[in-house]
Amino acid sequence: MPVQAVDPESLKEAGRLLKAGQLVVFPTETVYGLGANALDPAAVQRIFDAKGRPADNPLIVHVASIEAAKKLVSSWPPLADRFARAFWPGPLTLVLPRAPHVPDAVTAGLDSVAIRVPAHPVAQAVLRACGVPIAAPSANTSGRPSPTTAQHAESDFGDKVSLYLDGGPATVGVESTVVSVLGPDPVLLRLGAISREILEKMVPKWGKADGTGPALSPGTKHRHYAPQAKVRLVPAAQMATEWRQKGGDPKIAFIVSAETAAAGMAGRNVGIPGTRSDAEAWAHELFALLRKFDRKTEILVEPISEKGLGAAVMERLRKAAQS
Ligand code: AMP
Ligand code: MG
């Protein structure tokens, strides 16, 4: 069976497969990753092929420590040091000047490389088992909702992947925050698991991600996070009307706050991640619910407050609703 529980045997196998250039799916604290040896261009190409990922979308390289990160960069700016010490291991990705031996396949030909040190014990164990940096985007077919379980990943890739390590549901449920430290001020390239508020508390002055500064995150322009069903954002005040009209239709699903659901919304086609202010719960449940309702014709989703993690949740929802 390609989906395996995490134990010393499966970890050893993951290390062997990665060193041999194969693909391994493993849990991180953000979402499940589709990993390959970052220093092996043919292995990295397998990631792009399996995902159908556009070649201009560079990958995040995962390493076990700050020391390992320094081996992949041509310089280690003071800002990198501050962020790494504060947030690694953890869900912050830093875009840094790339060392020459980092393959073009990983960076999509850019002069920079995105690196993070994951906190998840299984991700750390996999890194130790293979001893090489692991390039790992989210383990979903490009454009689909990110996977928060090994089963989500398996349903996208089947036997294209040699091994799926099942470490239970991902902790956070949205991807890492991506910050460029290439210039004098940091630039927030992608909202994610570490909120803007927390980052701005540490460094008050930020550059703009308006395309005039250092490289925008190329990946943010692509279609993302979308189930097959059409996703539509419906304000809480209108949800009761929608429910009256469509609540009985088995092809329509609803993702609403506990407060909105309390007005009588219940059933198999209603997903309730948590209360309106519980952005952590929404982050944790959102992708799983989008996948659960994949085959519906429409999913109506209540927007939540954009405070803290809520900003990353809403950014994912708007992208899912775009397509
Ligand atoms: P994913 O791993 O699919 O969640 O996406 C990784 C994100 O990091 C994408 O938005 C990429 O465009 C971004 N990224 C990776 N490497 C770089 C880089 N060198 N410069 C800017 N953004 C990057
Ligand atoms: Mg992704």
Measured in degrees and rounded to the nearest 5, phi and psi for residue 134 equal -115, 120
Each residue's pLDDT expressed in tens, for the chain with a length of 323 residues: 589 999 999 999 999 999 999 999 999 999 999 999 999 999 999 999 999 999 999 999 999 999 999 999 999 999 999 999 999 999 999 999 999 999 999 999 999 999 999 999 999 999 999 999 999 999 999 999 999 999 999 999 999 999 999 999 999 999 999 999 999 999 999 999 999 999 999 999 999 876 654 445 666 667 789 999 999 999 999 999 999 999 999 999 999 999 999 999 999 999 999 999 999 999 999 999 999 999 999 999 999 999 999 999 999 999 999 96
Q: Which two tokens stand for residue 84?
A: 């790494």
Q: Which two tokens stand for residue 246?
A: 């469509």
Length of the chain: 323
Model confidence, pTM: 0.95
**What is residue 26's three-state secondary structure?**
strand
Atom of ligand 1 nearest to the CA of 106: 16
Ligand 1 contact, 142 CB (< 6 A):
no
Ligand 1 mutation pick, 30, 62, 95, 225, max ligand atoms within 8 A of CB: 95
CB of 57 within 6 A of ligand 1: the answer is yes
Q: Which of 34, 56, 59, 104 to mutate to test the pocket of ligand 1 (most atoms within 8 A of CB)?
A: 59
CA distances from 128 to 154, 248, 292 (A): 24, 51, 34
Rounded-to-integer distance, Cα 287 and Cα 146, Å: 6
The whole-number pLDDT of residue 323 equals: 66
Name 27's bridge partners. 32
How far is residue 217's CA from residue 148's CA, in Å, rounded to a whole number? Answer: 23
CA distances from 217 to 107, 162, 175, 233, 318 (A): 11, 29, 14, 25, 17
Residue type, 41: P
Our CA angle for 235, 241, 245, nearest 5°, is 130
Nearest-angstrom CA–CA distance, 232 and 99: 43
CB 163 within 8 A of CB 66: no
> 137 CA distance to ligand 1 centroid (A)?
8
CA distances from 265 to 71, 145, 200, 276 (A): 53, 25, 38, 15
- Which ligand 1 atom is nearest residue 175's CA? 4
Q: Whose CA is nearest to atom 3 of ligand 1?
A: 137
| Residue 277 neighbours by CB under 8 Å, 6+ apart | 304, 305, 307
d(CA 141, CA 136): 13
Verify whether ligand 1 is closer than 6 Å to residue 53 (CB atom). Answer: no
Bridge partners (DSSP) of residue 115 are 61, 94
| Cβ–ligand 1 contact at 182 (below 6 Å) | no
Q: Which residues make Cβ contacts (< 8 Å) with residue 31, sequence separation at least 6? A: 138, 139, 146, 147, 148, 170, 172, 173, 174, 175, 287
Which ligand has its closest atom nearest to the C-alpha of 226? 2
Ligand with minimal distance to 140 CA: 2
Which two three-digit tokens encode residue 129? 């088992």
d(CA 192, CA 81): 20
For residue 1 the two structure tokens come to 């069976």
Interval between CA 47 and ligand 2 midpoint (Å) = 12
Residues within 5 A (CB) of ion ligand 2: 138
Copy the structure tokens of residue 253: 């699903």
Taking the centre of ligand 1 as the mean of its atom positions, its distance from the CA of residue 114, in whole angstroms, is 6
